Structure 1
Amino acid sequence: MKTEAIVRRSLAEEVAAAIEEKIKLGEFPVESKLPTEPELMKQFAVGRSSIREAVKYLSQSGYLNVQQGLGTFVKSSTGHHALDSKIEKANFNDIFEVRHVLELRIIEKAALNRTSKGLKDMAQALKNRAKYAEMGNLTACVNADIAFHSAIAESCGNSILTALYTTLSEHVNKFFMTIYKDTVPFLNSQQQHEELMLAIKDKEVKKAVDIANRIIQQL
């Protein structure tokens, strides 16, 4: 008898799936404003953190557009699924090459456009990266690494670049989980990542790009 593994999802993932379904069914129409956090918390009987994680995920997936001070709006009923499907079938070397090109451009722009919030997100992700690397928790370490680079992408000031990079990073993340057996490579590159964040903070564009190139060449 064939057995199938049951995939356990977090509350945030369950909420994201439920909101995505409502978007596809037209209950949350494209261009409409999503209900407020308290309304969503009541509707799905979950806490604020689960709602925020779900909204962040759906924003990165192309379904929602968060406009600070105005609210969250439904952007698309299909998200990035078409792009995801194409990437799934692509050769990893092609994926990595595109991510490399995007990352360098993103770092250039992030060094010019970074905000205090963006720097705070980078610092927190980098702190988590170091902590999980020292603990030997590979999954959490990879996720923190992706979060750090995603925080840089979100600071570049170009939402399309950010969305493309986030989508590609999800696939690179899967690859990292297959090639790395422990967190030693992350421990070895932690200092370079600290230097990258400092260069972005100081708006040293060339230095930031040079550091990023050295990091990428070690992968």
Structure 2
Amino acid sequence: MSQVKRTPLANQAAELLLNRIRAGEWPLGARIPGETTLGPQLGVGRSTVREAIRQLAGKGVLQTRQGAGVFVTALDAAEDWNTVLQRAEIAAVIEARTAIEAEAAYLAAQRRSPQALRAIRRTLADRERHRESAADYVDADMRYHRAVVEAADNPVLLELFDSFVPRLRQAMIDMLALGAGMDDDADRGAHEQLTEAIAAHDGDAARRLSRTHLDALCERIAR
């Protein structure tokens, strides 16, 4: 049986335990052996086993149940969200963003407060003032779309949107630097129509306009 040979011991012990779970040694829902059993198997002390279990619990693979033991709750560790986004193709990220923003636009039309609508209009106007610099324009555009998501009054949607911004920002800047229609009439009109749909509490139109705009953006980036 494989044993830990190099430091950091807890990280390697966690990896060895995860490999055994992946190999099917302990199925989903199974109770894994105790620290006194795992320690000699891995060639480490109980405190190292405890830390390895803590690491895997943090990744959702194991769960400690008071008085019952440690149980398998997932058969692999989920990748860090930022890592997933960094590796994903930009088109795929925009597709996911579309799903979030289209629903957020619908909810924004239903729930927006007068203050939220003012923020949307303010960021829309600000977007018009940043046409000289691609970076400034992209940042202004992101502030507008964030204001729409914020108006939906759903903190989960807002957190998801914020997680997409770093991955998209540079790709958008690069695209605009190549002359891909920065602030053209159709793009400007799409944002104005979306704003007015939200102002009119027209959720269906807001959802449709948001999706149409982002679908066009995805096609533009894919060229």
- The two structures have a TM-score, normalised by structure 2, of 0.57
State whether residues 196 and 211 of structure 1, in contact with CA within 8 Å, keep that contact through their aligned partners in structure 2: yes
- 1:185 CA displacement: 2.9
**Over alpha carbons, which structure has the higher Rg?**
2
- The two structures have a TM-score, normalised by structure 1, of 0.58
Q: Does 1:157 align with 2:153?
A: yes
Moved more, 87-96 or 155-164: 87-96
- Counterpart in 2 of 1:191? 189
1:90-140 residue CA offsets vs partner (Å, 9 max, x unmatched): 22222111111111111111111111221121111111111112xx22111
Q: Structure 1 stretches of 5 or more lacking a match?
A: 1-80
Do the aligned partners of residues 183 and 147 (structure 1) sit closer, same or farther apart at CA in structure 2, a change above 3 Å counting? farther
Helix, strand or coil at the partner of 1:210: helix
- Counterpart in 2 of 1:119? 117
Separation of aligned partners in 2, 1:117 and 1:187: 28
Moved more, 87-96 or 176-185: 176-185
State whether residues 102 and 208 of structure 2, in contact with CA within 8 Å, keep that contact through their aligned partners in structure 1: no
Q: Structure 2 stretches of 5 or more lacking a match?
A: 1-78, 218-223
State whether residues 197 and 206 of structure 2, in contact with CA within 8 Å, keep that contact through their aligned partners in structure 1: yes
The 5 Å alignment of 1:203-214 reads 203-214=201-212
Helix, strand or coil at the partner of 1:185: coil
Helix, strand or coil at the partner of 1:186: coil
Aligned with 1:146 (options 124, 134, 142):
142
Do the aligned partners of residues 123 and 199 (structure 1) sit closer, same or farther apart at CA in structure 2, a change above 3 Å counting? same
1:134-167 residue CA offsets vs partner (Å, 9 max, x unmatched): xx22111111100000011111121011100111
Separation of aligned partners in 1, 2:122 and 2:180: 18
Separation of aligned partners in 2, 1:122 and 1:132: 16
Aligned with 2:102 (options 91, 101, 104):
104
1:26-50 residue CA offsets vs partner (Å, 9 max, x unmatched): xxxxxxxxxxxxxxxxxxxxxxxxx
State whether residues 99 and 169 of structure 1, in contact with CA within 8 Å, keep that contact through their aligned partners in structure 2: no
Separation of aligned partners in 1, 2:139 and 2:157: 20
Number of residues paired by the alignment? 137
Separation of aligned partners in 1, 2:124 and 2:180: 14
- 1:205 CA displacement: 0.9
Q: Which amino acid aligns with 1:197?
A: T
1:159-203 residue CA offsets vs partner (Å, 9 max, x unmatched): 011100111133112210121124843232112201111110110
State whether residues 142 and 176 of structure 1, in contact with CA within 8 Å, keep that contact through their aligned partners in structure 2: yes
Helix, strand or coil at the partner of 2:183: helix
Separation of aligned partners in 2, 1:217 and 1:85: 24
* Identical counterparts, % of pairs: 19
Separation of aligned partners in 1, 2:152 and 2:167: 21
Helix, strand or coil at the partner of 1:206: helix
